């Protein structure tokens, strides 16, 4: 995603943490933040897909965001939570929401457009496919990677070779 497609002036982000790394998700995409639920495991899905949950009658996939980003898995603790996100296109994945397990949620922050740099400084890595910008937070000196949730969670990444995640979820629940 090019910087001109990046969020407009005045956008707010939910900042979250995976280890020592800080990430941001557009707040308008966040449906809710919940504690860990019982997750129904699914066969033959990528290791970062933890399974599905029944959230008030709606089946949603749950991924471990740490594992999706290539970080080692950790034991979940009292700060671990699930951020339920709205996806833009249900047609691509079959789902309108997805849950992302994160180490901790920090805060909602306003990040001005001028504080966001395009990810092209990453040198053409695959990270550019799902990071739409890098935000510099002057008061703390932190750099927050702003995630493109739809690219990060596309059906090509969530589906398995033989059946779709949606079909497996329907069978599991």
Residue 83 burial class via C-beta count within 10 angstroms: exposed 0-12, middle 13-18, buried 19 and up:
buried
pLDDT tens digits for 111-162? 988 888 888 765 555 556 788 899 988 788 889 999 998 888 875 455 543 3
Instruction: State which residues form the domain around 68.
Output: 3-172
**pLDDT of the residue at 173:** 58
Name the domain count of the chain: 1
Q: Please tell me whether residue 157 adopts helix, strand or coil conformation.
A: helix
pTM: 0.81
Res. 163 pLDDT band, cuts 50 70 90? very low
Alpha carbon of residue 1 to chain centroid: 16
Percent of the chain as helix, strand, coil, to the nearest 5: 25, 40, 40
CB 145 within 8 A of CB 131: yes
pLDDT tens digits for 75-92? 999 999 999 999 886 555
Residue 101 has pLDDT above 70, yes or no: yes
CB-based contacts of 98: which residues, under 8 Å, 6+ apart? 60, 61, 62, 63, 84, 85, 87, 149, 153, 158
Spell out a b/e string for 96-105, using b for 16 or more CB atoms within 10 Å of the CB, else e.
Answer: ebbbbbbbeb
**pLDDT of the residue at 172:** 62
- Residues 171 and 173: their CA atoms lie apart, in Å, by 6
CATH number, residue 156:
2.40.50.180
- Residue 164 phi/psi, 5-degree rounding, is -80, 160
Closest-CA residue to 68 (of 116, 129, 134, 137) = 129
């Amino acid at each position: 995603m090019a910087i001109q497609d990046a969020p407009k002036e005045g956008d707010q982000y939910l900042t979250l943490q995976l280890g020592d790394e800080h990430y941001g998700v557009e707040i308008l995409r966040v449906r809710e933040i919940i504690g860990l639920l019982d997750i129904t495991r699914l066969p033959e899905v990528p290791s970062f897909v933890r399974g599905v949950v029944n959230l008030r009658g709606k089946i949603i996939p749950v991924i471990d965001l740490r594992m999706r980003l290539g970080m080692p898995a950790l034991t979940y603790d009292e700060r671990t939570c699930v951020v339920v996100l709205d996806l833009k296109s249900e047609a691509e994945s079959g789902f309108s929401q997805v849950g992302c397990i994160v180490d901790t949620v920090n805060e909602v922050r306003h990040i001005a457009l001028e504080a966001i740099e395009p990810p092209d400084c990453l040198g053409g890595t695959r990270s550019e496919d799902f990071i739409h910008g890098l935000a510099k937070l002057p008061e703390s000196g932190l750099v927050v990677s702003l995630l493109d949730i739809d690219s990060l969670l596309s059906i090509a990444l969530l589906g398995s070779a033989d059946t779709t995640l949606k079909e497996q979820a329907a069978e599991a629940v």
